[in-house]
Amino acid sequence: MTEPTGTVTGCWRYPVKSMQGLAEDALEVTAAGVVGDRARALVDPATGHILTAKRVEDLLFASATDDGIALPDGTVVGVDSPHVDDALSAWLGRPVHLAAGDEAGQRSFEMTFDPPNDDAEYYEIPAPPATFLDSAQVHVVNAATLRGCAAARPDLDWDVRRFRPNVLVDLGGDAFAEQAWIGGEVRVGDVVLHVEGPTVRCAMPLRAQPDGIEREPELFEAMSELNEVHPNHLGLYCRVVSGGRVAVGDAVAAV
């Protein structure tokens, strides 16, 4: 089978985990991942668990930059403000702490394996050590896959923001062609990534978000039906082999 090739069409990083992030023209990538991505996270002071929109869906309605967090009511609080924990706790109605990267250590987050059901049992999942990531350092999504899914299920909203990639590539052609890279290496701009595996989808893509993204629980079943090889997976989790710069317009190809 011919290896797919394509172009980078979008770049994002998320300074605070599970909040709205920043669309960028380019990303800097090191051995640790995308610089400035998931640099902070809210944690539960009682349990130490990382809070995510998998369980605390209101987090998606705040927006974060490197310097501040904008809450849904328009309040902006600096990430280094002595009052940031108070402001975030008042917003969410529970005690929370905004943790920086040097507080990551070995933490866990909670998720369910039945994402459409918010009352399903939640399980503790360890994050990679010293990070606030879910699994891998870089998350890649193929725009052609989203187009193919939208063509097959036009009744559903396949907005890329639901899937929160770091890098959006466009390989053209068929949906899920990027799965041919699994287990191999791909060059994205200056960066070489090892494709660890497909991205299992949790409750995040089903959640409502600002700017008209509505709750869409039917996406879970649709992703299971449309991806015959890896049901309920969309995207790729990647490990950095060599860092560098990734920019919109860069070429993408297997190494």
pLDDT class of 45 with cuts at 50, 70, 90 = very high
The CA distance from 241 to 243, in Å, is 7
Please name the residues in contact with 213: beta carbons below 8 A apart, sequence gap of 6 or more. 157, 159, 161, 162
Contact indicator for 50, 127 with CB cutoff of 8 Å: yes
pLDDT at position 60 over 60: yes
Structure token digits, residue 213:
């993204």
pLDDT in tens, 230-243: 999 999 999 999 99
**Residue 53, domain CATH:** 2.40.33.20
The alpha carbon of residue 46 and the mean position of all alpha carbons in its chain are separated, in whole angstroms, by 25
- If one counts the domains in the chain, the total is 1
pLDDT at position 4 over 90: no
Range of the domain at 198: 5-254
The pLDDT value recorded for residue 122 is 94
State the average pLDDT over residues 155-162.
98
Listed residue (2, 4, 11, 1) closest to 190, CA to CA: 11
How high does pLDDT run on average in the chain?
96
pLDDT class of 244 with cuts at 50, 70, 90 = very high
The pLDDT value recorded for residue 2 is 64
Q: Are strands 167-170 and 5-13 parallel, antiparallel or unpaired?
A: antiparallel
